Amino acid sequence: MKVPKTLERLAVEVEGWLDLGCPEHALGRMAPLLETPNARPVALLLRIRALVDLERYAEALDALDEIAYFEHDPEWRLVTEGRCRRRLDDLEGATRCMRRLIEVDPRSAVGHYNLACYLALAGETEEALEQVTIACGMDEALRTHAVTETDLDVLRDDPRFAALMPSG
């Protein structure tokens, strides 16, 4: 997605504030981007990042609803929506997001992994184990990540989960 040439510098500045960990400054600067139709998709993406960083998940969900109208990376959108819903204690909604992502892209390792996390938190341990197994098979790095993932704590005593963990 591109912004009009006249707003490119502002978009870079807003993104810079986000990269520096200053989402409140980013939000304060992005009004011209949000008000310009050709820049709105980029502005929404930056707004969502800022709102998530500020833990304003309900507001981020509103912006995610709007960005869905624009062509945008469905994996990023659904993963972000799932994370927001999870932090708002909507495990059912978070789970739906990951199931939708896996429908769109069955090869999404992060989709399977996050689905495993949400299912584990909901106490659906058999399907959670199946999903984390699929995710780790797709992306070896997720095995290392799963070692410290607290969402998967309910699976720790299962020998099948232990077999997924890296040795050594």
pLDDT tens readout for residues 61-87: 999 998 888 866 889 999 999 999 999
Task: State the pTM of this model.
Answer: 0.89
- Residue 168 to residue 164: CA distance in whole angstroms: 12
CATH (residue range 74-168): 1.25.40.10
- Residue 25 to residue 9: CA distance in whole angstroms: 15
DSSP-derived secondary structure for 130-167: HHHHHHHHH-THHHHHHHH-GGGGGGTT-HHHHHHSPP
Question: What pLDDT score does 73 carry?
Answer: 85
pLDDT tens readout for residues 80-101: 999 999 999 999 999 999 999 9
Residues of the chain with pLDDT under 70: 1, 71-72, 168
